[in-house]
Structure 1
Amino acid sequence: MPIIRGHTEALQLITGPGSPGRTDHAFGVAGTDLGVALSDTEGRLMLVFGDTVACDGSTADWRSNTIVRTGDPEYGDGLDIDEALTEDGWSERGRAVEFIDTPRGPGRERTVVPTGAITVRGIHYVDYVSVRDWGDPGEWTTNYAGTVRSDDGVDWTLVEESLRTGDRPSAQTRVAGLPRFRDGDEKLQMSAFIEHDGYVYRFSTPSGRDGSAILGRAPVDDFPDESAFTYFDGENWFSPGDRNPDTGVELGLDAAATVIENPVSGLSVTWNEHLGRFIALHQTGEGLVLRTAEALTGPWSAERMVLDTGTVRDLHGGFILPGDSGRDLYFVATTWSNYNVLLMRTDLDELLGPDSAERPDSRGRISRTGPRPAAGRDYDPSRDDGLEAVGVVDYRDQ
């Protein structure tokens, strides 16, 4: 685990041999990534992981996705995993199992990876992509994206109306049962959800790490039926197939406006009460960045560098944890070298700068620094991101 000093810090490992609950022993989770977060109906935190391996690293124990949960809502004093979803349901011990079915096979499907999650009216939803092929680093092609749902967090079923085919696949690579490809569905492969004003809003990007985000929404009662989604064109909301009132031309998803410019990867969005603004956290080629906005439609602020690759070279992900809306932003992230999930914290006032009143928070803290420099396309990771990596915690020394 990297030891970082400054506005952002790594608090602990959540998974693997270095985790407090030893998820490698308890659940066969020795290595994993992501940690897409949602709350269940009892207020417990659920974390959805991507490709997961056990200590022996054998392909026989590779799971494309796993899910765990904890009843510990106080992120500041650490996060211990209580249970994992096993063959026997939620259990304090037992091998974590795949909860999204995957018929893996070369040239057909490599893995099934979660990208977004939300609980709406007591029902849990996880959005995911079926990865057909891996390309160069940061690039992959998808068969489709879809949403699974569960009333109890144990049994998960695909909502067929949620499917978005990723491409016009050939007969050799086609996954059976997919709906016909719709132009623009390739823009709807990776998701971030937030519920607001009676709608579930979905920020969508293409597969890979270099896309821009567009914004759709569906009424809560109709989510996640794809036919219920309307999309933001920069001023108004439209449904694919509507006619342009001026030209009469049928509107497709190419009419959806870019709300967050590329590159956007591992996006998560929340409302922050301390700032009185929405927050978007996502990865770029230079590191993990944060933006804010008064409305989900934007305009979104310039990027602020939360943690750049000059400080932690191989960080990826960055999924905001629900239930905390103060000055401290808690999220999870992963390093490729350790391939396990970290609990992270960013002091938003230290990152963004104090307001003119320099008001203290509930713990009496006042920010004493100015805002960090904006990130962006010309950002150099060798610049000072306001952080210092001073070492690592090695679990073998504990």
Structure 2
Amino acid sequence: MKPKAGLAAAAAAILLFAASGCAGGAKENPMLGVSGEPFVLKGISGLAQVGQITGAESPNKTDRYAVYGTDLGSMMNARDRTYFVFGDTFGERPADQIGGGGSYWRSNTIGYTTDKTPEDGIALDGMIVDEIGTAKELLPSKKIDYDEMTKIPTHGVEANGALYLYYMSVSHWGDPGKWDAGYAGIAKSTDDAQNWTLLDAPKWPGDSAFVQVSPYKVKNEDGTPDIYLWCIPAGRFGGVKLMKVAETDIERQDAYRYYTGKDDKGKPRWSADMNEAETVVDDTVGELSVVWNPYVKRWLMTYLKEGRGVVMREGLSPWGPWGEPLDLVTKEQQPGLYGPFMNDRYNAQDGKTIYFALSLWDPYNVFWFKASLEK
């Protein structure tokens, strides 16, 4: 682009912002988008494995908590702590075993850290443990196939001074990338993740589009926060839908609103009926993670795209439009990869460098990666 054209485009964008404000009614909050702005993310470079977070071979030596193998590692922040929430966890297993399995099975565990230097890996301060010092299962499950095989937390958020975990009750693991869920729900902790209560509501049907979520707080014009949640069905073959709820109403089923498209003025429409929800990203999406990035000043979405690897999309608002998927980690670079979870607390160079957790099926543990965004 020629310099004069670039200046003209920038001036036009500024005038458009002044005239129309942010979509969704928040004139001061770029997280809610500015209509007409172009995509700026052109590529991703500098992919590198920084370290290993879990397992006997990790610097954290999580086998001392009877965590020899585990996966996922979505993150939520509360005060100076970041909690890493893991999935099915095993205390003992053969050294050459691939994938989940082993003895002392817990459906979920949590580690926590106050580490502020992601460039040299993540040092866990500890894990939530039982009376004998092993990582305890926080959301109990029946462990009965075709009933409730396990409870897997998909993401968490701090709200109203408490911690909330959104989870799915998996009834059966099927073919690769496919599984059945009985329902999705929320658990709550008021004692820094030590103990959790399974809430009777909200709950979403296991065959709905709202089984796995990625939440993020966004402030309204009056300063009160809404929690936006990007959602996918059970498995890795559905698209992304969007719901939101006021932070104060996180435990009220009837307070959740579902994105149903834009009105004739380009503003988002919301419905109390989840069956009216519109798809915002149409793809085969697994283990999604969404954060606001200060470098591109856009939303970033990462997920596992079956057959390709981990990809990233740029979003101009929570509901889009969303750019085309860019390769973040290919399946050739890291075979057996899944669960690419970001956290806006972990970046460098004002967000140009991002850090993220990534699970590897072999050796069934969670690793720490970084990459650079190119504008």
Normalising by structure 1, report the TM-score.
Answer: 0.75
Q: Counterparts in 2 of 1:100-139, with a 5 A limit?
A: 100-139=139-178
- Counterpart amino acid of residue 87 in structure 1: D
Aligned residue among 260, 265, 269 for 1:237? 269
SS class of match (2:346): coil
- Counterpart amino acid of residue 343 in structure 1: W
Aligned residue among 349, 352, 365 for 1:327? 352
Using the TM superposition, give the Cα deviation of residue 107 of structure 1 relative to its aligned residue in structure 2, in angstroms: 2.5
Distance (whole Å) between structure 2 residues aligned to residue 322 and residue 305 of structure 1: 20
Aligned to 2:314: 292
Aligned residue among 37, 47, 53 for 2:90? 53
Aligned to 2:60: 21
The answer on 1:7 being equivalent to 2:46 is: yes
Please identify, of 279-288 and 51-60, the stretch whose mean Cα deviation from structure 2 is larger. 51-60
Q: Counterparts in 2 of 1:305-320, with a 5 A limit?
A: 305-320=327-342
Aligned to 2:185: 146
Distance (whole Å) between structure 2 residues aligned to residue 30 and residue 65 of structure 1: 13
- Any idea what the Cα deviations from partners look like across 1:7-36, whole Å, max 9, x if unmatched? 211111100021112111x21111000001
Using the TM superposition, give the Cα deviation of residue 60 of structure 1 relative to its aligned residue in structure 2, in angstroms: 4.8
Decide whether the 8 Å contact of 1:278 with 1:293 is kept in 2.
yes
- Counterpart amino acid of residue 258 in structure 2: Y
Using the TM superposition, give the Cα deviation of residue 187 of structure 1 relative to its aligned residue in structure 2, in angstroms: 1.2
Aligned to 1:34: 72
Using the TM superposition, give the Cα deviation of residue 165 of structure 1 relative to its aligned residue in structure 2, in angstroms: 2.5
Give unpaired runs (5+ residues) of structure 1: 168-185, 241-251, 355-398
Decide whether the 8 Å contact of 1:218 with 1:224 is kept in 2.
no
Aligned to 2:13: none
| Greater per-residue strand proportion | 2
Distance (whole Å) between structure 2 residues aligned to residue 106 and residue 314 of structure 1: 24
Aligned to 1:358: none
- Any idea what the Cα deviations from partners look like across 1:69-99, whole Å, max 9, x if unmatched? 01112111221112111114xxxx8210100
Aligned to 1:166: 206
Aligned to 1:84: 127
Distance (whole Å) between structure 1 residues aligned to residue 323 and residue 149 of structure 2: 36
Aligned to 2:17: none
Q: Counterparts in 2 of 1:334-345, with a 5 A limit?
A: 334-345=359-370
Q: Counterparts in 2 of 1:198-347, with a 5 A limit?
A: 198-235=225-262, 236-240=268-272, 252-285=273-306, 286-325=308-347, 326-347=351-372
Which segments of structure 1 move beyond 3 Å, counting only runs of 4 or more?
A: 56-60
SS class of match (2:163): strand
Using the TM superposition, give the Cα deviation of residue 296 of structure 1 relative to its aligned residue in structure 2, in angstroms: 0.6
- Counterpart amino acid of residue 172 in structure 2: D
Decide whether the 8 Å contact of 1:44 with 1:73 is kept in 2.
no
Distance 1:288 1:348, change over 3 A: same
Distance (whole Å) between structure 1 residues aligned to residue 185 and residue 318 of structure 2: 23
Using the TM superposition, give the Cα deviation of residue 62 of structure 1 relative to its aligned residue in structure 2, in angstroms: 0.5
- Aligned residue-pair number: 311
Aligned residue among 106, 123, 127 for 1:63? 106
- Counterpart amino acid of residue 339 in structure 2: G
Distance (whole Å) between structure 2 residues aligned to residue 78 and residue 13 of structure 1: 7
Using the TM superposition, give the Cα deviation of residue 227 of structure 1 relative to its aligned residue in structure 2, in angstroms: 1.3
Using the TM superposition, give the Cα deviation of residue 327 of structure 1 relative to its aligned residue in structure 2, in angstroms: 1.0
Decide whether the 8 Å contact of 2:187 with 2:199 is kept in 1.
yes
SS class of match (1:301): coil
Aligned to 1:171: none
Normalising by structure 2, report the TM-score.
Answer: 0.79
Decide whether the 8 Å contact of 2:92 with 2:102 is kept in 1.
no
Decide whether the 8 Å contact of 1:29 with 1:53 is kept in 2.
yes
Aligned residues: percent identity? 31
- Any idea what the Cα deviations from partners look like across 1:325-382, whole Å, max 9, x if unmatched? 5111111001101100001111112xxxx4xxxxxxxxxxxxxxxxxxxxxxxxxxxx
- Counterpart amino acid of residue 299 in structure 2: F
Using the TM superposition, give the Cα deviation of residue 322 of structure 1 relative to its aligned residue in structure 2, in angstroms: 3.6
- Any idea what the Cα deviations from partners look like across 1:191-235, whole Å, max 9, x if unmatched? 110110221011111100000011010111101422111111111
SS class of match (2:254): helix
Aligned to 1:188: 210
- Counterpart amino acid of residue 230 in structure 2: F
Decide whether the 8 Å contact of 1:45 with 1:73 is kept in 2.
no
Decide whether the 8 Å contact of 1:39 with 1:322 is kept in 2.
no
